[in-house]
Structure 1
Amino acid sequence: MPYVGVGAQKASTSLTGPPMVKAYISITVSLLFVLLVAAVGLHHSERRFNHFKRVTIEDVHLEDSKTLTKNINSENIKEYLRTFTKDPHIAGTDANKKVAYAIANAWSNAGLEDVHTIPYEVLLSYPDFENPNSVVIRSRDGREVFKSKGVSPVILPDEQSGKHAGHQWLAYAGNGSVSSDVVYVNRGTETDFKNLKLMGVDINGKIALMRYGHGFRGDKIHKAQLHGAVGAILFSDPSDVAQDGEKQANVYPKTVWMPNEAVQRGSLMHGDGDPLSPYYPAKKELYKSRTIDEAKEDRVLPKIPVLPISYTTAYQILKRMNGRPVPSDWQGLVGGNLTYKLGPGFVNNDRLTINVHSELQTKRIRNVIGYIHGAEEPDKYIMLGNHFDAWVYGSIDPNSGTAVLAEVARAMMQTINETSWRPARTIVFNAWDAEEFGLIGSTEFVEEYVDILQKRAVVYINMDTIQGNASLNVETVPSIEYMVIEASKQVESPSKREKARGRNTLYDTWMKVFPDKKTGKPKIRVPGGGTDHAPFLNFAGVPVINFNFKNYSTFDTYPLYHTMYETPFTNIHLMDTDNLAVHRAIGQYWAELARTFADEVILPMNVTNLAQIMMSSYLPQLQAQLGGLNISRTDAEAIRNQFVNLKKTTTDLFHMSKKFEETIHFTRHSFSQNPYDPKHINGVNDRLMSIEKCFINPRGVSKHNPSARHVLFSVSDSDSYSNSLMAGIGNAINDYNESPTNKLLREIINQISIVQYSVLCVVNTLRDVI
Structure 2
Amino acid sequence: MPSTRVLLIVAAFASSAVLFAAQPADTSHSVLGYKNFAHQQQLDEQFMAVPSPSLARQELKTLTAVPHVAGTPEDYQTALYVAKKFREDGLETQIVPYMAWLNTPREIKVQAYGKSGKLLMTGPTPEHVKGDPYENDPRILPAFNGSSPSGDVTADVVYANYGRLQDFNKLRDMGISVKGKIVIVRYGANFRGVKAYIAQQRGAAGVIIYSDPYDDGYFRGDPYPHGPYRPETGVQRGSIEYLFKYSGDELTPGIASKPGLPAKDRLKPADAPALPKIPTTPLSWHDAAPILKALAGPSVPHAWQGALPFAYHIGGQGHVKVHMLLKMDYKYTKLWDVIGKIPGTEYPNDWVVAGNHRDAWTFGAVDPNSGTAAVLEAAHGFGVLLKNGWKPKRTIYICSWDGEEEGLIGSTEWAEDHATQLAHAVAYFNTDVGVSGKDFNASAVPSLKNFIRSITREVPSPKGGTVYQQWKKSQDDAEARARMTNNGFNNTTYTATHQPVRIGDLGSGSDYTPFIQHLGVPSTDVSSDGPYGVYHSAFDDYAWFVMNADPTFVYEQEMARVFGLEVLHMADASVLPYDYVTYGKELQEYLTAAEAKAKKNGITGLDFAAAIADAKQFTTAAQAVLERQQSESGNLSTFNAQLRQVEEDFLNPAGLPGRPWFKHTVYAPGVYTGYAAVVIPGVNEALDAKNAAQAKAQLADLVTAIQHGTATLQAAAK
TM-score normalised per structure 1: 0.82
By how many angstroms is 1:319 displaced?
1.5
Aligned partners of 1:565 and 1:712: how far apart in 2?
Answer: 38
1:550 is aligned to 529
Aligned runs of 1:700-711 on 2, under 5 Å? Answer: 700-703=655-658, 705-711=659-665
2:153 is aligned to 178
Checking the alignment, whether the CA contact within 8 Å between 1:137 and 1:352 is kept in structure 2 is yes
Aligned partners of 2:209 and 2:265: how far apart in 1?
Answer: 32
- Say whether 1:285 aligns with 2:255: no
- Supply the AA of the counterpart residue of 1:135: V
- Supply the AA of the counterpart residue of 2:291: I
2:17 is aligned to none
- Is the partner of 1:213 in helix, strand or coil? coil
Aligned partners of 1:211 and 1:164: how far apart in 2?
Answer: 27
Aligned runs of 1:593-608 on 2, under 5 Å? Answer: 593-608=566-581
- Is the partner of 1:465 in helix, strand or coil? strand
By how many angstroms is 1:519 displaced?
7.6
- Is the partner of 1:324 in helix, strand or coil? coil
Checking the alignment, whether the CA contact within 8 Å between 1:153 and 1:166 is kept in structure 2 is no
The CA deviation string for residues 351-370 of structure 1, in whole angstroms up to 9 with x for no partner, is: 32122121221111121101
Instruction: Select which of 688, 698, 710 maps to 2:643.
Output: 688
The CA deviation string for residues 318-377 of structure 1, in whole angstroms up to 9 with x for no partner, is: 12111122111111112xx3111111246xx45321221212211111211011222332
When residues 235 and 73 of structure 1 are mapped into structure 2, their CA distance, relative to the original with a 3 A threshold, is: same
By how many angstroms is 1:166 displaced?
5.6
1:35 is aligned to none
Aligned runs of 1:727-766 on 2, under 5 Å? Answer: 727-734=681-688, 736-737=690-691, 745-766=692-713
2:585 is aligned to 612
Instruction: Select which of 539, 549, 554 maps to 2:518.
Output: 539
Aligned partners of 1:206 and 1:216: how far apart in 2?
Answer: 21
When residues 252 and 166 of structure 1 are mapped into structure 2, their CA distance, relative to the original with a 3 A threshold, is: farther
Once the two structures are overlaid, the 10-residue window that deviates more, 481-490 or 656-665, is: 656-665
When residues 600 and 184 of structure 1 are mapped into structure 2, their CA distance, relative to the original with a 3 A threshold, is: same
By how many angstroms is 1:121 displaced?
1.8
1:151 is aligned to 126
Instruction: Select which of 238, 252, 261 maps to 2:233.
Output: 261
Aligned partners of 2:507 and 2:112: how far apart in 1?
Answer: 39
Instruction: Select which of 70, 73, 85 maps to 1:91.
Output: 70
- Supply the AA of the counterpart residue of 1:644: A
Aligned partners of 1:145 and 1:431: how far apart in 2?
Answer: 45
- Say whether 1:389 aligns with 2:359: yes
1:580 is aligned to 553
- Supply the AA of the counterpart residue of 1:720: G
1:124 is aligned to 102
Aligned partners of 1:619 and 1:567: how far apart in 2?
Answer: 44
2:679 is aligned to 725
- Supply the AA of the counterpart residue of 2:261: E
Checking the alignment, whether the CA contact within 8 Å between 2:437 and 2:548 is kept in structure 1 is no
Instruction: Select which of 507, 530, 538 maps to 2:468.
Output: 507
Checking the alignment, whether the CA contact within 8 Å between 2:67 and 2:362 is kept in structure 1 is yes
Checking the alignment, whether the CA contact within 8 Å between 2:651 and 2:665 is kept in structure 1 is yes
Aligned partners of 1:424 and 1:145: how far apart in 2?
Answer: 65
Checking the alignment, whether the CA contact within 8 Å between 2:395 and 2:571 is kept in structure 1 is yes
Aligned runs of 1:164-175 on 2, under 5 Å? Answer: 164-165=139-140, 167-175=142-150
Gaps of 5+ in 1: 1-54, 671-678, 738-744
Instruction: Select which of 454, 465, 489 maps to 2:423.
Output: 454
When residues 139 and 655 of structure 1 are mapped into structure 2, their CA distance, relative to the original with a 3 A threshold, is: closer
- Say whether 1:252 aligns with 2:229: no
Once the two structures are overlaid, the 10-residue window that deviates more, 169-178 or 65-74, is: 169-178
Aligned runs of 1:20-419 on 2, under 5 Å? Answer: 57-113=36-92, 115-128=93-106, 131=107, 133-139=108-114, 142=117, 144-153=119-128, 156=131, 158-165=133-140, 167-244=142-219, 250-271=222-243, 272-283=247-258, 284-286=260-262, 287-295=264-272, 298=273, 300-334=274-308, 337-345=309-317, 349-417=319-387, 419=388
- Is the partner of 1:159 in helix, strand or coil? coil
1:528 is aligned to 507
Instruction: Select which of 424, 434, 453 maps to 2:393.
Output: 424
2:617 is aligned to 652
Checking the alignment, whether the CA contact within 8 Å between 1:471 and 1:513 is kept in structure 2 is yes
- Is the partner of 1:595 in helix, strand or coil? helix
The CA deviation string for residues 213-255 of structure 1, in whole angstroms up to 9 with x for no partner, is: 0010010011111112111111111111223589xxx321221
- Supply the AA of the counterpart residue of 1:281: A
Instruction: Select which of 556, 560, 564 maps to 1:591.
Output: 564
Aligned partners of 1:467 and 1:244: how far apart in 2?
Answer: 23
TM-score normalised per structure 2: 0.88
Aligned length: 661
Aligned partners of 2:623 and 2:147: how far apart in 1?
Answer: 50
Checking the alignment, whether the CA contact within 8 Å between 1:702 and 1:717 is kept in structure 2 is no
When residues 413 and 171 of structure 1 are mapped into structure 2, their CA distance, relative to the original with a 3 A threshold, is: same
- Supply the AA of the counterpart residue of 1:415: L
Aligned partners of 2:324 and 2:469: how far apart in 1?
Answer: 50
When residues 646 and 138 of structure 1 are mapped into structure 2, their CA distance, relative to the original with a 3 A threshold, is: closer
- Supply the AA of the counterpart residue of 2:328: S
Aligned partners of 1:359 and 1:702: how far apart in 2?
Answer: 33
Aligned partners of 1:170 and 1:278: how far apart in 2?
Answer: 21
Gaps of 5+ in 2: 1-33, 480-495
Instruction: Select which of 515, 534, 544 maps to 1:570.
Output: 544
- Supply the AA of the counterpart residue of 1:310: S
By how many angstroms is 1:763 displaced?
1.6
When residues 398 and 268 of structure 1 are mapped into structure 2, their CA distance, relative to the original with a 3 A threshold, is: same
RMSD between aligned residues: 2.2
- Supply the AA of the counterpart residue of 2:239: S
The CA deviation string for residues 573-615 of structure 1, in whole angstroms up to 9 with x for no partner, is: 22112x1111110111111111111122111111112112222
- Higher CA-based Rg: 1
2:9 is aligned to none
Aligned partners of 1:665 and 1:172: how far apart in 2?
Answer: 49
Aligned runs of 1:446-525 on 2, under 5 Å? Answer: 446-455=415-424, 457-495=425-463, 499=464, 504-515=465-476, 520-525=499-504
- Supply the AA of the counterpart residue of 1:103: V
The CA deviation string for residues 477-508 of structure 1, in whole angstroms up to 9 with x for no partner, is: 1112111101111111123xxx3xxxx11111
Aligned partners of 1:654 and 1:176: how far apart in 2?
Answer: 53
Aligned partners of 1:141 and 1:323: how far apart in 2?
Answer: 16
- Is the partner of 1:466 in helix, strand or coil? strand
When residues 252 and 106 of structure 1 are mapped into structure 2, their CA distance, relative to the original with a 3 A threshold, is: same
Instruction: Select which of 407, 410, 420 maps to 1:438.
Output: 407
Checking the alignment, whether the CA contact within 8 Å between 1:186 and 1:210 is kept in structure 2 is yes
Aligned partners of 1:318 and 1:146: how far apart in 2?
Answer: 11
Aligned partners of 1:244 and 1:141: how far apart in 2?
Answer: 33
When residues 762 and 149 of structure 1 are mapped into structure 2, their CA distance, relative to the original with a 3 A threshold, is: closer
- Is the partner of 1:280 in helix, strand or coil? coil
By how many angstroms is 1:160 displaced?
3.5
Aligned partners of 1:758 and 1:618: how far apart in 2?
Answer: 14
